[in-house]
Amino acid sequence: MKFVNEAGWDRAARVILGAVLLYLGWSGTVAGGLGTFLKIIGFVPLATGLLGWCPAYALFGFRTNRDGHEVARTA
């Protein structure tokens, strides 16, 4: 089973942040090395927000949801 260590607001913020970073990198708004960096790093918050599980949170024993044993919904 997969456990969720992010609250709903945390997941939404990560998805929005990831989408904004990807947009800035891929649209050409930010060019050069920084644009390439945003293209790569934007996938991290997007993926963790969609999955609901953050490896850094798990490593440090941190979570933003109230119940640490909440099972992720697949539907």
Number of domains in the chain: 1
State yes or no: pLDDT of 26 exceeds 50: yes
Name the pTM for this structure. 0.81
Q: Is residue 50 part of a domain?
A: yes
Closest CA to 49 of 39, 64, 35, 37: 64
How far is 18 from 68, CA to CA, in rounded Å? 24
Q: Could you tell me the residue range of the domain that residue 25 belongs to? A: 8-60
State yes or no: pLDDT of 1 exceeds 50: no
Q: Is residue 69 part of a domain?
A: no
